[in-house]
Amino acid sequence: MHFPGVLSHPRDCTDAGTPILRYIPAEKRQHPVAMLIRRYVRSINQTVTFAAFTKRAFTVDQRTRLSTFFVPQSDKVATATKEGSAHALLVKAGFLRQAAAGIYQLLPLGLRVQDKIERLVDRAMRGVGASKVALANLSSSELWKKTGRWEKGGDELIKVYDRKDTAFCLAPTHEEDITNLVANEVSSYRHLPVRLYQIGRKFRDERRPRFGLLRGREFVMKDLYTFDASEADALKTYDEVTRVYRELFDKIGVPYLVAEADSGNIGGSLSHEYHYMTKIGEDTVLNCKGCGYTANDERAATKLGRRDTSYETRYGLCSDNQLVAVHYPSGREINAISVRKTVPTFTGILLPSLEGKSWDSKLNVTHLFDENIAKDTTAPALPQNVECESSPSVVRELILIKAEASDPCPKCSHALESHRAIELGHTFHLGTKYSAPLGAKFVPEGGSKGSKDIIMGCHGLGISRMVAAIAEVTHDSKGLSWPVDVAPFKCAVIPGPKHDEVAEKVYDELTKVLGEDEVVLDERLGKSVGWKMKDADLAGYPFIVVVSKAWDKEQKVEFQVRKTGEKRYVTLEELGEAFKQ
Amino acid sequence: MHFPGVLSHPRDCTDAGTPILRYIPAEKRQHPVAMLIRRYVRSINQTVTFAAFTKRAFTVDQRTRLSTFFVPQSDKVATATKEGSAHALLVKAGFLRQAAAGIYQLLPLGLRVQDKIERLVDRAMRGVGASKVALANLSSSELWKKTGRWEKGGDELIKVYDRKDTAFCLAPTHEEDITNLVANEVSSYRHLPVRLYQIGRKFRDERRPRFGLLRGREFVMKDLYTFDASEADALKTYDEVTRVYRELFDKIGVPYLVAEADSGNIGGSLSHEYHYMTKIGEDTVLNCKGCGYTANDERAATKLGRRDTSYETRYGLCSDNQLVAVHYPSGREINAISVRKTVPTFTGILLPSLEGKSWDSKLNVTHLFDENIAKDTTAPALPQNVECESSPSVVRELILIKAEASDPCPKCSHALESHRAIELGHTFHLGTKYSAPLGAKFVPEGGSKGSKDIIMGCHGLGISRMVAAIAEVTHDSKGLSWPVDVAPFKCAVIPGPKHDEVAEKVYDELTKVLGEDEVVLDERLGKSVGWKMKDADLAGYPFIVVVSKAWDKEQKVEFQVRKTGEKRYVTLEELGEAFKQ
Ligand SMILES: [Zn+2]
Ligand SMILES: [Zn+2]
């Protein structure tokens, strides 16, 4: 900054540290520009040196100031990223940067959102009496070999070898480590239940990382592991976790779905997913508005109530000497998971014909009929190249097809709706899948009956994914728009020209209402009030308070609500009430 | 638990969930044991079911209860670990567990200590206007190759390859990533200064991991990186960081030393280390009580004030065609770093004789004389196998020897003291070591002079190491003894027999004085008050409050101070004051 005729100082001086006021000659003290400088120096209540003033304000006090707080807004970055998506907005508004494919750096605003979510999750975990631990990212291959997941982990498991060639993985999840930990500490029913959780980095070498934080290779998860003495206790624990998960999602305030889910590779028999609905979601969830039935598309059932006499057939290959013939209503899709419930060795491969196939041994064949096919339909003849061990078995009245949008709900017949969705949380009743191979046992009450495997549950939440998902669901044409409880700051204070001093007073008042570190002061030099309001809309602070002319006239500030666009003038006293609405 | 004659219920029943009071027949209601049960149920203000009572309390309310909070005290573990060391105490008291060599799991108490330290560090970083970020653990090899540290990192750098064989390391420090980030965002002097820090996991494949968290392979660090427009600004920043580091260490309250340090491999020219003094420390620090001069043994100087005419000589090999002959007072140790200051290519290898050595080319020889050797001493003849390029140069009056305990301080001649010490923090003035190769430049004020490299600093703090170091320095024969500001909980409340209800009242009062989550209630069943006091001493809570008979008589509790052993009886009103002393 250069003030010709006011400061007795060359523009490119380097004698930083000398108070700027010394450079105003006595006879220029009443010059309007000189008065502006003096007022500014007084307003920040600090000695301003020439160098500090000509660069930019970097004021360190108890207030969070956008001049000091690091919110880079590189035009380079903004234009290089596709406009419109929440991820592009997160980059443009300075919440995060990409370091490599699927690997992100959280900048201060982004980290604050993530920290807010973590604190809400901590509170939820306290609600089930869970204690917080911090396990290592490097996880010993020994344990993963015991559960068979060292091999099954496939390409997604990132393997690391130390200087002695000992194998570790970068843990994508911590069932092995936590079960081993608990196995060493728990020996009696008296030590149960145990509920442990952590919030930390996880690693997965995704084949196609994308959508920013939604599908990254290094991400932050909350993982809760529960240990109970009986199936009944474990199911009660599962219900308690469900309760605090719902409370957490209610608190954040973004509409969500809780879907019945298949428990998949992680094992167990009871599982739910927590979803936000959004076009860019990679999952599909079917939901009934009639009775609330919700399930992901791999699990969702439907009752078509048909009794077709014609049908289609697919042949399912198995990992043993079985073959499964699936008969289902024409034009529908087969649900592989349903087939596997009857024939567990089914590989998932379904063929319309077996032409050209041959087998080493004779086959055990099972015919599966969907419930929508007439009961008296006889099983068709098998292709000639299939040699049977014995006569084929027939199972009827199965639900074998995937539910689709506008199919009838299996519970109440209402039409199902289909939604694209992002999975944020996943709860699993694990049973003894990990406790058995890792020897997590306890002596039950009574004692004489020997030891039993601990019954486990695991309950994940994608913390960094939630940052992106909330941004995705809540953003609008002006930018991000955070729910109050996860916003990086609840309120931005924007001083009008010459209103720096009173803006600080307003900042301090707001802090009393909203909390110690919930307000940000935008006193950046050289930016207009209009620019700052647009920038605050982009960053998505739920509330904006502009301190300008209305203050001089009637001691009022302009109060803006980001989500509704509401704007009105209120006194400081009225502000407290305004936030509550 | 079994109450023959009181409960109408078999011992090994499984009908969990039925209120236990239903099992007391009407005619037994006044039985002393029945009354005890009824009083307990009333005291926790919850319906207690048979199963819950016979297992253990797992009460979830706003209070932290040791029956619910996970503090494993496996006798197996306790006896397997060497008694006496702080690490053994941390294991015994349930603060942490080892997962693999040099890899640890923080259990709830240990994580709370670490979290406390992190919050203090956050506050210190706010004191220099630093913004918090979260960089990835996986760091791109490209950047490390640009700074030359991909090769130099050696065996300690853990390298990881993804499914496409792209190379990453598990970052042991983040100069590369942060400099690259800032290089992309900062282009003008107007953007400077920038101060960014993070707290997170680091990885180093230590050859000999040991002393638990003191030297692990996966650990938590705070790393602050500073970016300034000029050397003068960067040095001011360095001073500000020094100030908040001192405030932080003062706040924790454990005596520490700030030592001048050699900046070593990480580069730069100004560097300080922050140490705790302890026998098991791996560093040596020399300290003058006269003037406060403190330096690590690699850097510490001394002024012996001798003028010896006899001396010893060592020959130093160089990485080029130089040879250095170091002449120093007999019986002392040569400081390789001092030699390198005059002859930068010196390898660190010092030989008493050159017998049998040969070289491909003629050598440039430099004689270095320590200042304690008489000025007029002539350089001795070189061994016959040394062929000189030209006549050797001679440099005198150098400080070439390492300072030792009871040597005179180089500044005030007072006797130096030598301490074994643990390094906890390290500050470096980096200059342009990273900004130059990674292209972190800015256009200075004035603009026409082209762009300049940003001047950097980096400032580390070993967060997980501090957990272990504080434990090491403060523990005593009874166990751990945490300073108030880093204790897992500030106070433990121990109810005497039949004092559960009033203990909860005391807990709630203490919470008002000490903070929301600073008190822990030890209502574990089946443990005596004496056992609980010993256990609280082992865990090291700074204060213990026992609610027992004195309450009934005169409404007083026993107030114990862990560090001093002080015990006295006070009223609830007096407790607030008692904590302040
Ligand atoms: Zn329905
Ligand atoms: Zn001295």
B119, containing H or E segment:
helix B108-126
Is the distance from CB of B440 to CB of B453 less than 8 angstroms?
Answer: yes
> Alpha carbon of A527 to those of A89, A103, B16, B364, B574: distances in Å?
20, 33, 66, 62, 55
pLDDT for residue B2: 43
Task: Mutate one of A109, A143, A162 to test the B interface: name it (highest B CB count within 10 A).
Answer: A162
For residue A11, pLDDT beyond 50: no
Q: How far is CA B283 from the centre of its chain?
A: 14
Average pLDDT over residues A290-308: 88
- Identify the pLDDT of residue A268: 46
Q: What is the pLDDT of residue B538?
A: 95
- CA A342 distance to own-chain centroid: 34
A140 and B16 within 8 Å at the Cβ level: the answer is no
pLDDT at A223: 98
In this prediction, residue A79 has a pLDDT band, given cuts at 50, 70 and 90, of very low
Q: Spell out the domain ranges in chain B.
A: 1-55, 116-301+415-467, 312-398
Interface test with B, best of A132, A221, A449 (most B CBs within 10 A): A132
> What does the pLDDT read at residue B516?
86
What is the rounded CA–CA span in Å between residue B119 and residue B396? 51
Tokens 């955070």 correspond to A482
Closest Cβ–Cβ partner in B68, B218, B230 for A136 = B218
Nearest-angstrom CA–CA distance, B118 and B124: 10
Integer Cα distance of B420 and B425 in angstroms: 15
- The whole-number average pLDDT for the span B171-182 is 97
Chain A touched by B103 (CB under 8 Å): yes
Q: How far is CA B207 from CA A160, B85, B97, B155, in A?
A: 16, 22, 20, 8
In the structure, ligand 1 is a single-atom ion and the residues with CB under 5 Å from it are: A 288, 290-291, 293, 409, 411-412, 414
Best residue of A50, A103, A111, A114 to probe chain B, by most B CBs closer than 10 Å:
A103
Higher pLDDT: B2 or B493? It is B493
For residue range A17-73, list pLDDT tens digits in order.
556 777 777 777 777 667 777 777 777 666 665 544 456 678 888 899 999 999 997
Which residue type is seen at B67?
S
Assign B131 a pLDDT band (cuts: 50, 70, 90): very high
Q: What are phi and psi of A554, to 5 degrees?
A: -140, 20
B512-540 mean pLDDT: 94
User: A513-557, pLDDT tens digit by residue?
Assistant: 999 899 999 999 888 999 999 999 999 999 999 999 999 999 999
With CB atoms and an 8 Å threshold, state whether B100 touches A136.
yes
- CB < 8 Å to A140, chain B: 99-100
Strands (E), B39-178: 96-100, 103-106, 131-132, 138-140, 158-161, 167-170
Query: What is the tens place of the pLDDT at every residue in B24-78?
Result: 777 777 776 677 777 777 766 666 655 444 566 788 888 999 999 999 975 544 4
Beta bridge partners of B568: B559
What count of other Cβ atoms lies within 10 Å of the Cβ of residue B7? Answer: 24
**B439 contacts chain A (CB < 8 A):** no
Pick the range with the lowest mean pLDDT from A123-127, A249-253, B49-53, B469-473: B49-53
State the ligand closest to the CA atom of B291.
2
Q: How far apart are CA B186 and CA B444, in angstroms?
A: 11
**B90-119, pLDDT tens digit by residue?**
999 999 999 999 999 999 999 999 999 999
B264 pLDDT more than 80? no
Averaged pLDDT score across all residues of chain B:
89
Inspect the interface and report whether the beta carbons of A99 and B196 lie closer than 8 Å: no
Q: Give DSSP secondary structure letters for B171-189.
A: -S--HHHHHHHHHHH--BG
| % of chain A at pLDDT higher than 90 | 67
Distance from CA of B131 to the nearest CA of A (A): 6
Are B134 and A74 in contact (CB < 8 Å)? no
3-state secondary structure of A261: coil
Q: What are phi and psi of B32, to 5 degrees?
A: -55, -40
Q: Which residues of B touch A194 (CB under 8 A)?
A: 70
- What integer is the mean pLDDT of B199-212? 93
3-state secondary structure A431-491: ECCCCCCCCCEEECCCCCCCCEECEEEEEEEEHHHHHHHHHHHHCECCECCCCHHHCCCCE
Greatest pairwise CA separation for chain A in angstroms: 112
Asked if A84 has any chain B CB less than 8 Å from its own CB, the reply is no
Taking the centre of ligand 1 as the mean of its atom positions, its distance from the CA of residue A472, in whole angstroms, is 28
Q: Is the pLDDT of residue A330 over 50?
A: yes
Alpha-carbon span A274 to A283, nearest angstrom: 11
**CB < 8 Å from A in window 129-188 of B:** 129, 131-140, 155, 158, 160, 162-163, 166, 168, 170, 177, 181, 184-186
- pLDDT tier at B268, thresholds 50, 70, 90: very low
For residue B246, the model assigns a pLDDT of 97
pLDDT at residue B191 above 80? Answer: yes
Query: What mean pLDDT, rounded, does chain A reach?
Result: 89
Q: What does CATH list as the number for B116-301+415-467?
A: 3.30.930.10
Task: Tell me the three state secondary structure of residue B17.
Answer: coil
Mean pLDDT across B178-188 = 95
For residue B201, list chain A residues with Cβ-Cβ distance below 8 A. 137, 200-201
Which 225-244 residues of chain B touch chain A by CB within 8 A? 229-230, 232-233, 236
Residue A473 CB neighbours (<10 A): 18
pLDDT score recorded for residue A74: 54
**Whether pLDDT at B265 is above 80:** no
Q: A261 versus B315: which is more confidently predicted?
A: B315
Chain centroid offset of residue B68 CA: 29
8 Å CB contact between B293 and B522: no
**Per-residue pLDDT for B196 more than 60?**
yes
Query: What is the arrangement of strands in the sheet containing B543-547, beginning at the earlier edge strand?
Result: B519-521, B491-495, B543-547, B556-561, B567-571
- Mean pLDDT of all residues in A336-363: 90
A-chain residues within 8 Å CB-CB of B140?
Answer: 99-100
* pLDDT recorded at residue B14: 38
Residue A52 to residue A9: CA distance in whole angstroms = 14
- Does residue B16 register a pLDDT over 60? no
pLDDT in tens, A169-218: 999 999 999 999 999 999 999 899 999 999 999 999 999 888 889 999 99
* Residue found under tokens 């399912």: A316
Domain A116-280+419-467 fold: BirA Bifunctional Protein; domain 2 (3.30.930)
Percent of chain B with pLDDT over 70: 90
A441-455, A479-493, B266-280, range with the lowest pLDDT: B266-280
Instruction: List the B393-398 sheet strands across, edge first.
Output: B346-351, B312-318, B322-328, B364-370, B393-398
CB distance A268 to A436 below 8 Å: no
Query: Mean per-residue pLDDT for B466-471?
Result: 97
- Residue A80: pLDDT band (50, 70, 90) is very low
Better-predicted residue by pLDDT, B261 or B1: B261
Residue B266: pLDDT band (50, 70, 90) is: very low
Q: Does B406 score more than 90 pLDDT? A: yes
pLDDT of residue B85: 86
Instruction: Please tell me which residue of chain A has the smallest CA distance to B127.
Output: A60
Q: What pLDDT shows up at residue B432?
A: 95
**Angle, CA of B184, B197 and A88, to the nearest 5°:** 45
**Contact residues, chain B, for A188 at CB < 8 Å:** none
3-state helix, strand, coil in chain A (%, to 5): 30, 30, 40
CB contact B107 to A (< 8 Å): yes
CB contact under 8 A, B97 and A184: yes
Least confident of B79-93, B99-113, B330-344, B490-504: B79-93
State residue A245 phi and psi, 5-degree precision.
-65, -45
Of chain B, the percentage scoring pLDDT greater than 90 comes to 67
